[in-house]
């Protein structure tokens, strides 16, 4: 009787272990699928950033041309306002795409429980060298390159 009880307990224990293994395997698969989805989102956002950067460049060029034409009385105030609106919208779209990309990176970092990028260096750099540049052309700021002297 004692042997049967031990065998039953061992069988129940193995059954529970198998059940727990299946649960852990399912959790791992779900976690992997989540990470794959985030990586896909990151890659999509990279493409959107590039598109928006190009749109911003074109909007900057369009605004510059329109402004020059306006000064020469070759464009109307309405043309100038439209060009300015396009330029501002392109900056907003670019910033939003960068934001979405960074959020996706943060989500991936959180799912992996580790940092992928050191944001501290970039934040310190921006605070030290780019404070007060909000009024300057965003395209100049983006092409920074971090080649400053102290």
Q: Distance (Å, rounded) from C-alpha 93 to C-alpha 60?
A: 13
In a structure prediction context, what are the per-residue pLDDT tens digits for the chain, which is 150 residues long?
777 888 888 888 899 999 999 999 999 888 888 888 888 898 999 999 999 999 999 999 999 999 999 999 999 999 999 999 999 999 999 999 999 988 888 888 888 766 666 555 555 555 555 445 443 443 344 444 555 444
Q: Provide the sign of the torsion angle of the four alpha carbons 83, 89, 90, 91, taken in this order.
A: positive
**CA 105 remoteness from chain centre:** 6
Burial class (CB in 10 A: 0-12, 13-18, 19+), 94: buried
Which pTM value belongs to this model? 0.61
């Amino acid at each position: 009787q004692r042997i049967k009880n031990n065998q039953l307990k061992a069988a129940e224990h193995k059954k529970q272990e198998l059940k727990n293994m299946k649960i852990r395997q399912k959790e791992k698969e779900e976690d992997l699928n989540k990470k794959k989805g985030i990586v896909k989102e990151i890659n999509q956002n990279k493409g959107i950033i590039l598109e928006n950067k190009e749109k911003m460049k074109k909007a900057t060029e369009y605004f510059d041309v329109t402004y020059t034409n306006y000064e020469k009385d070759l464009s109307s105030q309405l043309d100038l306002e439209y060009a300015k609106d396009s330029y501002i919208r392109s900056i907003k779209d670019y910033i939003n795409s960068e934001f979405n990309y960074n959020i996706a990176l943060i989500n991936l970092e959180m799912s992996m429980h580790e940092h992928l990028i050191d944001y501290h260096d970039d934040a310190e750099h921006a605070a030290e060298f780019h404070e007060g540049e909000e009024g300057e052309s965003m395209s100049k700021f983006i092409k920074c390159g971090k080649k400053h002297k102290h």
